[in-house]
Amino acid sequence: MDQPTIILGVIGSDCHAVGNKILEKVFTLHGFNVVNLGVMVPQDEFIDAALETNAKAILVSSLYGQGELDCEGLRGRCIERGLENIVLHVGGNLVIGKQAFTETEARFKEMGFDRVYGPDTNLEKAAEELRQDIAARA
């Protein structure tokens, strides 16, 4: 389908809702069929939604500094539940404290994410990269 389905949500016990709405708008404008699960979404709900809708990617947001804890194991869980090929992107304020972004990025990539975005991300670029990643997996 030319409008790939993507799953969007803020993971864990995080209730920051504003950025989530902006992402929904931008990715919809860029031709994605966005299923937005909103805030405080557990790992399994991302996977449930992706399974039913045959989504090509899961976009995880985290803004309250506990992203690392919340995202741990997501890739494995996806594989376990039958989503071997799904694209995983993560973005937001991923860690607390002063840490070089390259370090954060490396850590999340090690956890199985295909792309890691910091707070000042250009969303046009992110949408383009998402499209590329989905095409590469197809």
Partner 1 sequence: MTRLLSIDIGSTYTKGALFQLSDGELSVVAYAKTATTTSHLKEGFDQVRGTLDPDRTAPVAFSSSARGGLAIAAIGLVPDLTLKIAKQAALSAGGKVVSVHAYKLGKDQRDELVALKPDILLLAGGTDGGNESFVRFNATQLAKLPARMVGQELPTVIYAGNAIIREDVAEELRAAGFEVAIASNLMPQMEQVEPDSAREQIREVFLRKIVHGKGLDEIVAEVGSEPLPTPLAVLNLTEALRNDVPAFGDFILIDMGGATTDVYSAGETIEQELRVMLRGVRDPEVKRSVEGDLGMRVSAGVAAHTAQAYLRQALGAERHVAFEAYMTRLASAPEYLPQAGNEEDAFDRALASACIHHAILRHAGTWKRVFTAAGETFLQYGKDLRQVRKVIGSGGYLSAIADFTPAEAILPTDAQRSEIIHLIPERFTYYRDNGYLLPLLGNLVGNWRKPAVACAVACLREEGETCLRVPEITSTVSNQSNHC
Q: Does 94 bind partner 1 (CB under 8 A)?
A: no
78-107 burial string, b = 16+ CB within 10 Å, else e? Answer: beeeebeebbbbbbbbbbeeeeeeeebbeb
On whether the CB atoms of residues 137 and 84 are closer than 8 A, the answer is no
Q: Does 82 bind partner 1 (CB under 8 A)?
A: yes
The reply to whether 18 sits near partner 1 by the rule CB under 8 A is no
Q: In this chain, which stretch among 45-53, 97-105, 111-119, 126-134 interacts with partner 1, using CB under 8 A?
A: 45-53
Interface positions, 52-71, toward partner 1 (CB under 8 A): 52-55, 64-66
Residues touching partner 1, count (CB under 8 A)? 21
CB of 64 or CB of 101, closer to partner 1:
64
* Contact assessment for residue 35 and residue 7, using Cβ atoms and an 8 Å cutoff: yes
Per CB under 8 A, the segment of 46-54, 85-93, 109-117, 119-127 that binds partner 1 is 46-54
Catalytic center residues: 14, 16
Assess 40 for contact with partner 1 (CB under 8 A): yes
One-letter-per-residue 3-state SS of 83-138 = CCCCEEEEEECCECCCCCHHHHHHHHHHCCCCEEECCCCCHHHHHHHHHHHHHHHC
Which residues are at the interface with partner 1 (CB under 8 A)? Answer: 1, 5, 13-15, 35, 38-40, 45, 48-49, 51-55, 64-66, 82
